[in-house]
Amino acid sequence: MKHKIYTAVTVLVLIAIPVVSVFSSSAGTSADPVVTKSYVDKCISDAVNQVMANRITDEDIDKTAHKAAELISLETGEDIELSVKESTSVAQPLTYKAVELAANKVMIGEEGTEIIVRSGAVYIYITGIDSILDVTTGHSLVDKNSVSKDHLLVIPRGDGRGIRATENSWVLVKGGYSIEDPKQ
């Protein structure tokens, strides 16, 4: 009886070895490489860092716009004239940036911009009827509401919402913004 069990086990092992080797031979080749999670994470991190290091410049945008206008002109037969809008907007940084806001100046935030007032006197500036969220208190602040120091404000849309300084003030900003004279 033991002899039959040993024989059966031996036959199974002899059958299993070639089957396992056939299936395992495809993994780890150049056609099907085996990689670890840390390797994939490193590749993703490197790609993100490369994209961040190679930010698109205004010159790149200008070249692309002119090339697109040229292609449209060839396709339609019409001349396309490009107009450039001057902007004092600041690109969205990934960290907070300390910015001095002069008295009677307005900081207009883009969508998702975060603002923290550190010193000075500031109030909400909105040209419409909407509000800005004070995340610290959970309240919506409307035009001419004063802003408490060290409160996190979030600009929900890039439609002209921001803050106005009544005296020289320092704010921390994360996101795109522009500093302008107030509209009366």
Q: What is the pLDDT of residue 132?
A: 95
Q: Each residue of 126-167: pLDDT tens digit?
A: 987 889 999 999 999 999 999 999 999 999 988 999 999 999
CB neighbourhood size of 65 (10 A): 13
Q: What is the pLDDT of residue 90?
A: 54
Q: Each residue of 71-114: pLDDT tens digit?
A: 666 666 777 666 655 555 555 557 899 999 999 999 999 999 99
Give the end-to-end CA distance of the chain in Å, rounded to a whole number.
Answer: 102
- Structural tokens at position 27: 């993994």
- The full set of domain ranges for the chain reads 97-180
- Distance CA(58)–CA(60), nearest Å, equals 5
pTM of the predicted model as reported, rounded to 2 decimal places = 0.52
| DSSP string covering 102-161 | -TT-EEEEPTT-EEEEEES-EEEE-SSS--EEETTTTEEE-TT-B--TT-EEE--SSSS-
- Distance CA(153)–CA(96), nearest Å, equals 13
State how far Cα 156 lies from the chain centre.
15
- Distance CA(105)–CA(166), nearest Å, equals 8
Of 26-30, 103-107, 133-137, 176-180, the one with minimum mean pLDDT is 26-30
Beta strands 97-101 and 169-174 are antiparallel
In the predicted model, what is the mean pLDDT of residues 31-52? 68
Cβ pair 182, 124 in contact under 8 A: no
Cβ pair 141, 84 in contact under 8 A: no
Fold of 97-180: Jelly Rolls (2.60.120)
Q: Quote the radius of gyration of the chain (alpha carbons, Å).
A: 31
- Distance CA(28)–CA(66), nearest Å, equals 47
